[in-house]
Amino acid sequence: MPARSLLADLTWYDFVDCVKSDPIIILPVGSVEQHGPHLPLSTDTLLPQALAEAVAERMGGLVAPPIAYGYKSQPKTGGGNHFPGTVSLDGEVLVGLVRNVINELARHGLRKIVLFDGHMENQWFLVEAADLSLRDQKMFRNTDLRIVKLGYWDFISKTTEELLFPDGSPSWELEHAAVMETSLMLHIRPDLVRRELIPNDPPAKFPPFDIYPFDTRPIPATGVLSPAASASAEKGAAVWTQVVADITEALSKAFDKQTSNV
């Protein structure tokens, strides 16, 4: 079998051999969403895809082709779905798509599935997809499927957070296209970052309630919800090193525990 961990690079013969080793398979789920004037619309897909490949390489796992579309960008976490270029799915469409992919992977014998989220707005729809696919699998008497859902930002340690934000951090909800994402992109895909356009917007201020249609006036014109000027490739490398190691460890424990309970 080829050394690469990408499912799409395998032949079906390779795939059959690979499944025999009971590997984890990671499904990156991102979005097509504005990320200010300096980052590409694919940021939320590029980051989980790259991190997933690094984790899979360490674990001898597979990475499925990513789901590149996500749930609608929200004003308080992503600037909002009204920004040009943002292409989103209705919630039930995302749930159905992820549910279908999980069921197909399980049908082919994969039992350790990771939903690797790169877009904060996806999270509850991934929970629903996991819940429904587990229900589906029970109908087929498959009770040994385990699904782990994670957002890579939840693995950023306090030490790394202090490196990213030496003067104190905004909420993670406002870290959209700001220091963390920009730093990671500077580390993995500097060719896609327009450094001269990195904004330094002050943190957005939103009321503690939502009105629909949403009042877009509190959203910075760039779509970046907090300052990004202090981003650097060095900070991105620090996040990468720490997060890849900790996600690998966490997944190893999660699936080892499942094995011991069978």
**How many other C-beta atoms can be found within 10 angstroms of the C-beta atom of residue 19?**
16
Q: How far apart are CA 37 and CA 22, in angstroms?
A: 43
What is the pLDDT tens value at each position of the chain, 262 positions in all?
345 699 999 999 999 999 999 999 999 999 999 999 999 999 999 999 999 999 999 999 999 999 999 999 999 999 999 999 999 999 999 999 999 999 999 999 999 999 999 999 999 999 999 999 999 999 999 999 999 999 999 999 999 999 999 998 888 899 999 999 999 999 999 999 999 999 998 999 999 999 999 999 999 999 999 999 999 999 999 999 999 999 999 999 999 855 443 3
Q: How far apart are CA 21 and CA 135, in angstroms?
A: 25
Contact (Cβ atoms closer than 8 angstroms) between residue 48 and residue 116: yes
- CA dist 206 to 202, 217, 235, 237, 260, Å? 12, 9, 28, 31, 47
CATH code for the domain defined by 7-209+220-261:
3.40.50.10310
Residues identified as active-site:
33, 35, 44, 119, 121, 176, 181
Output the pTM of the full model.
0.94
**How many other C-beta atoms can be found within 10 angstroms of the C-beta atom of residue 187?**
22
